[in-house]
């Protein structure tokens, strides 16, 4: 946000919280730095937060707005002198191999990103001793992975979560959840749908992400929400 060519009051808003890059989150835990999704704004997001080290990237699904920035891990390759581990479901690996075919050729052009694909399934795994639990959500017909790391859960691009997967989110202190807009959408939760799930789970704090300009002004929507639910905004930092 703003959307190219859009003249609506949200896209034209002067409030910094109405300016949003593509959805992503960076986690720092036990000396590790992980990023969930590397969309087209990954480079800008890394520069903005002055990130100097990256241990792994976790991918939710293979849509362009979540993976298109992976080419820019080359800067971390260069300074860390190693490939970057990228965790995803098996079918997402095939998508990444086609989007970034040049990074997976046998005879690579010098300087291409070095991506080490790590396949995960819907069961808990560890990266450097940090336990990560995938949460399988549905994005219309596409299974997407959300992730729980300790008391933090991040869900994006969902419009359905089964009871079994909701159970894995229980007890999270902070939940980030996608909410696209107010009107029904084929593959994303609406504001009401996301709020209803969060009301049920009752985390200490919840933040809505992947918000369209059709949601309205940040300041207006924020006033309508239950006290523990907020709209996320770029640069938001949470300590746990």
Choose one: 75-83, 103-111, 157-165, 229-237; the region binding Zn ion (CB under 5 A).
157-165
Work out how close the CB of 204 gets to Zn ion at its nearest, in angstroms, rounded to a whole number. 26
Choose one: 96-104, 156-164, 200-208, 229-237; the region binding Zn ion (CB under 5 A).
156-164
Closest to Zn ion by CB, 68 or 77: 68
* Contacting residue, 18, 35, 63, 172, with Zn ion by CB under 5 A: 63
* Contacting residue, 85, 157, 165, 193, with Zn ion by CB under 5 A: 157
Report 116-155 residues binding Zn ion (CB under 5 A).
none
Residue nearest to Zn ion (CB): 63
Which residues are bridge partners to 139 per DSSP?
142
Can residue 188 be called a binding residue for Zn ion (CB under 5 A)? Answer: no
Work out how close the CB of 61 gets to Zn ion at its nearest, in angstroms, rounded to a whole number. 6
Work out how close the CB of 21 gets to Zn ion at its nearest, in angstroms, rounded to a whole number. 12
Closest to Zn ion by CB, 63 or 218: 63
Count of residues binding Zn ion (CB under 5 A)? 3
Can residue 65 be called a binding residue for Zn ion (CB under 5 A)? Answer: yes
Q: Which residues bind Zn ion (CB under 5 A)?
A: 63, 65, 157
């Amino acid at each position: 946000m703003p959307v190219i060519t859009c003249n609506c009051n949200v896209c034209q808003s002067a409030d910094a919280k109405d300016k949003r890059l593509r959805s992503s989150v960076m986690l720092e835990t036990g000396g590790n730095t992980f990023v969930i999704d590397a969309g087209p704004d990954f480079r800008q997001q890394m520069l903005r937060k002055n990130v100097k080290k990256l241990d792994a990237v976790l991918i939710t699904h293979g849509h362009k707005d979540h993976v298109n920035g992976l080419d820019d891990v080359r800067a971390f390759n260069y300074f860390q002198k190693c490939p970057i581990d990228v965790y995803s479901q098996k079918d997402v690996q095939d998508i990444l191999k086609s989007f970034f075919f040049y990074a997976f050729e046998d005879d690579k052009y010098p300087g291409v990103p070095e991506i080490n694909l790590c396949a995960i399934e819907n069961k808990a795994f560890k990266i450097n001793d940090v336990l990560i639990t995938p949460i399988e959500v549905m994005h219309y017909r596409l299974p997407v992975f959300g992730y729980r790391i300790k008391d933090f859960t991040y869900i994006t691009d969902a419009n359905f979560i089964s009871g079994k997967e909701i159970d894995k989110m229980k007890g999270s202190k902070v939940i980030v959840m996608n909410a696209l807009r107010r009107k029904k959408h084929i593959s994303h939760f609406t504001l009401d749908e996301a709020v209803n799930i969060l009301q049920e789970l009752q985390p200490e704090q919840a933040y809505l992400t992947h918000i369209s300009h059709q949601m309205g002004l940040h300041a207006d929507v924020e006033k309508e929400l239950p006290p523990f639910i907020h709209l996320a905004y770029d640069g938001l930092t949470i300590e746990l």
